[in-house]
Amino acid sequence: MSRLCRRLLAIATIVTVAMLSFAMLPGMARAAGTGAITVDGTVATRYDAYRLFSATVVDDADTDQKIATDVTWANDAVCQAVLPVLHDVGLDSSASTAQEAAEWMNGDGHMTTALATKLARAICRSGVPSVALNAGTVAELPSGYWLIVADDDAIAQGEAGTAPIMALVGGSAVTVKPKAATPKVAKHVLEDSTTAWQKAADATVADDLYWRLSATVPAGLTAYDTYTVRFVDTMGAGLDPSKVAASMRVYVAAGADGGFDAVPTGKDGRAGTEPAKGWTDITAQCGVSVDGKTFTVRTGDLIAALGGADAFTAGARVVAVYNAPLSSACNHGIAKGNPNEVYLRYPRSPFADQSGDAGFTRTPSDDACAYTWGLSLIKRSSSDDKPLAGAKLRIIDDRGRILTTDGSWSTDADACVTTGADGHVELSGVDAGVYTVEEVAAPKGYTAFEGKRTVTVTAEGLDVKQVAVAKPKVTVSAESPLRVDTADAGTGSIELSVLNTPSKEASRGFMPSTGDRTLVLVAVLAAIGVAVIVVALVIKRGGGRREK
């Protein structure tokens, strides 16, 4: 496609903003052959202007409008490009002069956005030369009717071109101001404790962790035949991309206003797959491409998904939901967190080639972040804080799962963990919540505590509007004989001691631990032996007295 055919349409919600009177006044004095025009605003930095008709243009003081006379085709190439379009949409097939075409275009209801777009496409395809305009700079153009489109190379991030601008140049200076109307993107993560989509959440490593991408397509985007968007997501190193493609669901709803609750969320912290009222599942029309930690979600045609251009011009909302758990390599604490970033690629203009990348520009990025905490339980002696090896503990999370020796969570009721030489049991990467600790067996020489004790980890400050201001605070409480030693939100490190009473203290100085049956047996046998010896001595002494 030639560069001219890749010119994109400038933004204007009303294409007739500069279409002024076509009244023909015979005998009126001719005005100067040029006029001044300025394209204002920040939609693009460069524009191309195509003259459709040459004309003598003057200002009418009575109507505050411009009046054009002596209307002729700008050149044969324009005539050949424009006439077939006008005939196709209602101009009498016998009409061929510029005056006839101009008068019909100025008729009630004829100069629509759709017609202006068709004219722009036809002129771009024809290779008609254009005049370059720089945004914000006054330019002198020959008098007549001009069609102004934005240069696609000048449409940058956060900008877009939509409907063409028609301007009548001549007489007093003309200023046109395209209005920017660009999509926006946002990212959130599901906090399981509140079932709320937030900018920040905490989670346990390997547990399902749901992320939501949401795009708002503004109302007023006209002249598009098709409209697709692409979410481009880059996950932090601590996130696992293996479930992204299989879990991805994409939904669309009409209207730019409203929320993004496309699917219900359950009390278990899981995102559903059935769309909420007003939303349509378009997953089957979308494509997902995963490349390492980056993936792209490409929607199908949103105009078709919404039922046509009339619905689309009211705007649209698009939501993509997927599962990306924290991995074992994730960051603990708030110092780094585990960020997830997205931006949206959207068509530069109605003329953009949406089959590749060249026809798209992008939004600024938005992000969300997941946090996790490291919980360390240290078995200690209550007398001197010495770490104790050999304690068997059963640790249960608030989902009823039990910690296993490999650090994972299981539903096996017999699972337990044993403290090593340093007395530690590590819960690496856990969610805030309530954890229950049971002592299955105490170390030798110590007494196990009875019943269950709880540890409560609370994370506050995750419900923020921007990740940059998220400064979560972590608080920890524990039931005796559990003792909170440290809780550092920055590193995510939480340390607790699980205290054991030495058996000699628990049993008046000599009784062993209830968990050591061998020592109990030895003590009992020793006591029986002493009793036998005493009885024997008494009998012996008593027998001697009878002999005397």
Per residue in 110-148, pLDDT tens? 988 888 889 999 998 898 999 999 999 999 999 999 999
**CA distances, 31 to each of 27, 172, 356 (Å):** 12, 10, 47
Cα 158 from chain centroid? 17
Nearest to 67 by CA among 170, 176, 174, 141: 170
Using alpha carbons only, what angle is made at residue 104 by residues 98 and 107, rounded to the nearest 5 degrees? Answer: 140
Q: 184-369 sits in which CATH class?
A: mainly beta
The pLDDT, as a whole number, for residue 352 is 85
The pLDDT, as a whole number, for residue 501 is 93
Residues in the chain: 548
Per the CB < 8 A criterion, the answer to whether 361 and 344 are in contact is: no
- CA gap 103, 238 in Å, rounded: 65
Please report, as a single letter, which amino acid is at residue 204: T
Pairing of strands 366-371, 287-291: unpaired
Q: Is 346 exposed, middle or buried (0-12, 13-18, 19+ CB in 10 A)?
A: buried
- Residue by residue, pLDDT tens for the chain (548 residues) are 333 333 333 333 333 333 333 343 333 333 459 999 999 877 788 899 999 999 999 999 888 889 999 999 999 999 999 999 999 999 999 999 999 999 999 888 898 888 888 999 999 889 899 999 999 999 999 999 999 988 887 888 988 877 788 999 999 999 998 876 799 999 999 999 999 999 999 999 999 999 999 999 999 888 889 999 999 999 999 999 999 999 999 999 999 999 999 999 998 889 999 999 999 999 999 999 999 999 999 999 999 999 999 999 999 999 999 999 999 999 999 999 999 999 999 999 888 889 989 999 999 999 999 999 999 999 999 999 999 999 999 999 999 999 999 999 999 999 999 999 999 999 999 999 999 999 999 999 999 999 999 999 999 999 999 999 888 999 999 999 999 999 999 999 999 999 999 986 444 433 333 333 333 333 333 444 444 443 344 444 444 433 33
Within 8 A by CB and 6+ apart from 483, the residues are 496, 497, 498, 499
Within 8 A by CB and 6+ apart from 429, the residues are 204, 205, 326, 328, 330, 332, 372, 373, 374
Q: For the segment 335-367, what is each residue's pLDDT rounded down to a tens digit?
A: 999 999 999 999 998 888 899 899 999 999 999
Pick the CATH number of 373-506 from 2.40.160.40, 3.90.550.10, 3.30.70.270, 2.60.40.10: 2.60.40.10
Chain position carrying tokens 């590590």: 426
* Secondary structure string (H, E, C) spanning 210-223: EEEEEEEECCCCCC
Helix (H, G, I), strand (E, B) or coil at 476: strand
- CA gap 163, 222 in Å, rounded: 6
Within 8 A by CB and 6+ apart from 88, the residues are 118
The pLDDT, as a whole number, for residue 32 is 53
Tokens read off for 128: 């008609």
Looking at the DSSP bridge assignments, the partners of residue 54 are 72, 144
pTM here is 0.83
Give me the percent of the chain exceeding a pLDDT of 90.
72
List phi, psi (to 5°) of 230: -135, 120
Helix (H, G, I), strand (E, B) or coil at 132: strand
- CA gap 259, 32 in Å, rounded: 55
List phi, psi (to 5°) of 344: -115, 130
